[in-house]
Structure 1
């Protein structure tokens, strides 16, 4: 599904764990089909009910060439670490995982980060929520970023707000949703876990090489901010 606000000719492709709830909430305020006038009046379930996150389909995206087409991307490592700190640690979503609760798979519901990332493929198979938030960015944006008028990094939410403000002709604010209780850094993880993440993310860093440096290509960092 292309997320769009027709009166302002805006078209957005959302990426899970890349500020998508915040961006959707900002767009919802601009949408005349949505009655609330402040992003803070929307909760996460309302936002995603209005604008489900769907995979990229080139033929659908091509229908909006006359729109301002944009997306927001996040550093692959930070995005994956946030799957753990937000979905697993803060929201405790594995406690509601049917496959784990019913004993169909034998995985801890509250794994430590090393166990979680070393067994990430198993958690992806067990939990649709983990799978959805861990899928590669290209499934939601496509491989060709030239199809976008602008690709924003999650660190550029101020730029996005200014861009939307200019296009809409009224102030636009990007609210902050889904903050984690703590930050997890690469240096917090065991060497074996770091190697597993390096292997898991190599193709994603290749895809996003114009926007993010691959930390695994550099001398070992003490932390990823």
Structure 2
């Protein structure tokens, strides 16, 4: 039964992804909706997404996700579970119409988010290994340095789904709008987000974000790569004005490179 259910859920997920790629409005936003708590979270990868999902699971079920538990045995991990819930994909209009709910998301400076993608997915986890043959056809290095990765970002995103997903502009996850959200947190406001979640589960302990691994900072970017990244995420900087600023990241880069 578990294998059958998993296969059906996989097919359903592929269908939703296809509808999303085709631009059908009912599938453009991935949401995590907790009906009892009336909470709606819009997850964006590389923005403390894993920690927040674990926290929401504890709030909803009173325990951490565990694939060995009977009720979750059909799912590989908590990401898999949340993508396969019946209401996992929705539209901006549907979210705007939801009454009595608290809708939130966490956003991050786009360039720093891209650095996190490179550090975690390219260097530490080696996502590009699965695309070795395609990279050879494109004559792209399997282990690019940071600046080469950004220079050829469009090609790396084209050949590798994991890189595409984790570097996808935040505006696409949000469907180009913040109007339906009741609160937008930044990474610096994580303590405030945690306090909000503790209203629903006072003893909630957030899982620690990934630490260790490769160190990559703005100082590792060439000026050319920095501006290429900013240009790629121009839509994000426009949508998230007031939360992030390309001028700020340029200033910080200049300061770090002059030290």
The TM-score with structure 2 as length reference comes to 0.74
Q: CA offset at residue 93 of structure 1?
A: 0.5
Alignment of 1:19-34 (within 5 A): 19-32=48-61
The whole-number CA distance in structure 1 between the counterparts of 2:229 and 2:60 is: 39
Q: Tell me how far apart the structure 2 counterparts of residues 154 and 222 of structure 1 sit (CA, whole Å).
A: 21
Residue 47 (str. 1) matches residue 97 (str. 2): no
Aligned residue for 1:114?
147
> Relative to structure 2, which stretch is displaced further, 215-224 or 70-79?
215-224
Partner residue of 1:183? 215
Structure 1 residues 5 and 216: alpha-carbon distance in aligned structure 2, compared to 1, 3 A threshold: closer
Return the offset for 1:99. Answer: 5.1
- Comparing 140-149 with 78-87, greater Cα deviation is found at 140-149
Q: How many residues were matched structurally?
A: 218
Instruction: Decide whether the 8 Å contact of 1:185 with 1:223 is kept in 2.
Output: no
Q: Which moved more, 1:178-187 or 1:70-79?
A: 178-187
Q: Which runs of 5+ in 2 are unaligned?
A: 1-29, 68-75
Contact 2:237 2:244 in 1 (8 A): yes
For the pair shown, which has the larger CA radius of gyration, 1 or 2?
2
Aligned 8 A contact 1:26 1:174 in 2? yes
- SS of structure 1 residue aligned to 2:255: coil
Q: Residues 1-225 of structure 1: matches in 2 within 5 Å? A: 1-32=30-61, 37-38=63-64, 46-52=77-83, 57-97=91-131, 100=134, 103-166=136-199, 168=200, 170-179=202-211, 181-214=213-246, 215=248, 218=251, 221-223=254-256
Superposition TM-score, scaled by structure 1 size: 0.84
After superposition, the Cα gap between the structure-2 partners of 1:219 and 1:74, relative to the gap in structure 1 and judged at 3 Å, is: closer
